[in-house]
Amino acid sequence: MLIRNAAKSARFASDKMQKVSLFETPRFFMDLYCLEPGQEQRAHSHAANDKVYFLLEGAAEVSVGAKSSSLGAGEAVLAPAGVQHGIANRGAARAVCLVFMAPHPRPESQAAKTS
């Protein structure tokens, strides 16, 4: 059994948002997005992949399609396949977001991170 501690896995950098892989299989991945104030993941889409943003710490503005909403810790939002989405930390404190995506956009990638 593989166990990850999200709080201990978080890492930040002043130059850009950090993505920390927690789990990855050929079918899905789960990452932490660690955002300093002012950092963002620009809007983009995935033609065949659903993504969930689940905010663990801080606050962040999440956009899905033409709508944006400020999320607080404990709130989640779904970005369906084919819909533009992104996340931004517009506040003064750090933000940590758990991100799930399925199916995996690169199913040929290693599943070794699960063992």
Q: What is the pLDDT of residues 22-68, one digit of tens each?
A: 999 999 999 999 999 999 999 999 999 999 999 999 999 999 999 99
pLDDT in tens, 85-103: 999 999 999 999 999 999 9
Q: How many CB atoms lie within 10 A of CB 27?
A: 11
Would you call 59 exposed, middle or buried from its count of C-beta atoms within 10 A (0-12, 13-18, 19+)? middle
In the chain, the domains with their CATH numbers are 33-114 (2.60.120.10)
Q: Which two tokens stand for residue 21?
A: 């892989």
